[in-house]
Amino acid sequence: MGMRITNQMINNNAVRNLQRSMSEVDRRTKQMTSGKKISQASEDPVIAVRALKLRTTVNQLEQYKDKNIPDANSWYEISNTSLDNVVKRIKDINDYCVQGSTDSFGSTDRSAIIDSLKELQTMIYEEGNATYAGRYIFSGYKTDRPLTFTKTDDVTKYSYDITEHIKGTDLDTKKVVVDSVKYTDVDDYISGAKNYEQPDPVQVYRLNLAYEGIEENNNAGDSVLSLKAKDSAGNDIDLSSYTINVKTTADSDTYYDVPAGQINVIKETGEIIFGEDVYNVLKTAEDIEVSYAKTKFDVSDIRPEHYFDCTQYTEQPDGTVKTVDYTQPEGGQGIYYEVNFNQSIKVNLEGKDVISSKIGNYINDLIYTLNDLKDAEDAQKKLKAMLEDNQYASDENSVAQINRMLTDIDAEIAVKKETMQKTFSANITHFQDYLADISATQSDIGSRMTKLSMIKTRVEEQYASFKELKSQNEDMETEDIVTDFNEANLVYESALAATSNVMDKTLLDYI
């Protein structure tokens, strides 16, 4: 016998089937209003899991395409602009070097040229303060601070212990005049209060530090600085037998008078002058380590933490001093942007690599030689004017002394002109080499930008592909949604009619 079917069973089945039809209509309605295949993960776990993966991928590609790659490209563009400006300034300086090497400057032009060189030096270093989105692009990891001290910095609150590492090949020589003619001492020479010393051209052996106005270093003991050196094999060079003498402005006559076995440190200029024997020992050194202090900075001075191992002392508002140690990582301070999956690209250049501290030394040398020559020419004019002054012209001894000084200053000017020409000529090579280095750096940036452009194209292709896959996984075509909805709605209406018909009948209808 078959199972007995009751009206209640028919009603229950009808209601359940009607509920299913209603649920399907509801699902198709959600699809129609949202355009999505599912609204809850439970509806289709496979689609849900795939959607999470595809959405994550699309979001990452969108981050690369719309943010990381444009940011990286902006870093390159701003870096290139700054380097272009540096190149223009270096070319201007190089033009001066060409003129100076042939002594094409007029005596009246020297002051203007000195001012121009100072301004160009400031402009070069200020290019290192370029920013992008509030970050300094040449400051390595320390993007919150500029490459140089700026007008907004309270430079008086900073002091540093600085350690420079210099190669022996960075030592140089120059000819200077000891016991320069001083027209201000004419009366003392005439009266016999001072003995007149004839100017003496001498060869000096020196090293230029990155800063002028250096002070006693905390690690240097009783000396203004500590000096260590290693040879090409990495062995220490014994410097213990050498004496370090500190010189100031008051000792200008003996700046360059360095006996054997001694070293003169000129605090104002940041020069280290070696005895010839010391120079011969150090000129082949692989590394010369010089530690000194710097306590007074000017606007546009480079910040030591971007260039050297150093300790910074910062005076706090409450009078305490904050101490921070900085070291220069061997691998540099590269900033990398992720621009595709497992693919990063370096976006920054470090100021110390593209705006060298040596530029300041080279420019200062040009300025010093111009100043030396200008001072000698000014002294010559003063002495000639004295010969026209009755105070001296009427006295035979005075005239003889002044003429002797004029003869000597002529020779002094000749030496200083030669030094100026050689200095300017040598710096033609320095600045042309520097221009070549910048050109190589710009080529490197160009290569990175080309690589970034290729990555961008690839990311855009990936983004389009994964966005399509995401759409295929989640979205429904409008035509399909309408068709499915109409089918579900027709089934629901049919079920509604059938259920209504069944549930209207009772046992009384058959009695």
Q: Give the tens place of pLDDT for each residue, 453-506.
A: 999 999 999 999 998 888 787 766 666 666 766 666 666 666 666 666 666 655
Measure the CA–CA gap between 256 and 272, rounded to whole angstroms: 10
Mean pLDDT for all residues in the chain: 87
- List residues bridging with 311 in a β-sheet: 161, 325
The confidence band for 263, taking pLDDT boundaries of 50, 70 and 90, is: very high
Say what the pLDDT of residue 20 is.
Answer: 74
Instruction: Answer whether 362's CB lies under 8 Å from 424's CB.
Output: no
Averaged pLDDT for residues 270-282? 94
Averaged pLDDT for residues 341-348? 95
Put simply, whether the predicted model's pTM sits higher than 0.85 gets the answer no
Core vs surface per residue 464-474: b (16+ CB within 10 A) or e: eebeeebeebb
pLDDT at 352 over 60: yes
Q: Is 162 helix (H, G, I), strand (E, B) or coil?
A: strand
Give the lowest-confidence range in 65-79, 168-182, 270-284: 168-182
Pairing mode of beta strands 200-208, 271-274: antiparallel
The residue ranking higher by pLDDT, 241 or 480, is: 241
Say what the pLDDT of residue 109 is.
Answer: 81
Q: Which amino acid is at 239?
A: L
Measure the CA–CA gap between 312 and 321, rounded to whole angstroms: 10
> What are the φ/ψ torsions at residue 271 (nearest 5 degrees)?
-100, 145
CA atoms within 13 A on the CB side of 76: 24
Averaged pLDDT for residues 237-262? 88
Averaged pLDDT for residues 40-58? 81
Say what the pLDDT of residue 220 is.
Answer: 47
For CA atoms 314, 317, 321, 327, give the dihedral sign: negative
pLDDT at 155 over 50: yes
pLDDT at 221 over 60: no
335 Ramachandran zone, left/alpha/beta (phi>0; psi -120 to 50): beta
Averaged pLDDT for residues 5-18? 68
The residue ranking higher by pLDDT, 150 or 326, is: 326
pLDDT at 222 over 60: no
pLDDT at 389 over 50: yes
pLDDT at 237 over 90: yes
Say what the pLDDT of residue 500 is.
Answer: 67
Tokens of 413: 């000017």
pLDDT at 438 over 70: yes
pLDDT at 266 over 60: yes
106-147 pLDDT, tens digit per residue, is 777 888 899 999 999 999 999 999 999 999 999 999 999 999
| Domain boundaries, given as residue ranges, for the chain | 152-332
Averaged pLDDT for residues 77-82? 96
Say what the pLDDT of residue 477 is.
Answer: 62
Q: Is 332 helix (H, G, I), strand (E, B) or coil?
A: coil
Residues 6+ apart with CB under 8 A from 437: 354
Say what the pLDDT of residue 217 is.
Answer: 61
The confidence band for 52, taking pLDDT boundaries of 50, 70 and 90, is: confident
Say what the pLDDT of residue 317 is.
Answer: 86
Measure the CA–CA gap between 20 and 93, rounded to whole angstroms: 87
Say what the pLDDT of residue 248 is.
Answer: 82
pLDDT at 175 over 60: yes
Averaged pLDDT for residues 158-179? 91
Say what the pLDDT of residue 104 is.
Answer: 75
Measure the CA–CA gap between 33 and 26, rounded to whole angstroms: 11
Measure the CA–CA gap between 355 and 374, rounded to whole angstroms: 29
The residue ranking higher by pLDDT, 5 or 328, is: 328
Instruction: Answer whether 58's CB lies under 8 Å from 463's CB.
Output: yes
> What are the φ/ψ torsions at residue 213 (nearest 5 degrees)?
65, 50
Measure the CA–CA gap between 271 and 211, rounded to whole angstroms: 9
Averaged pLDDT for residues 394-401? 92
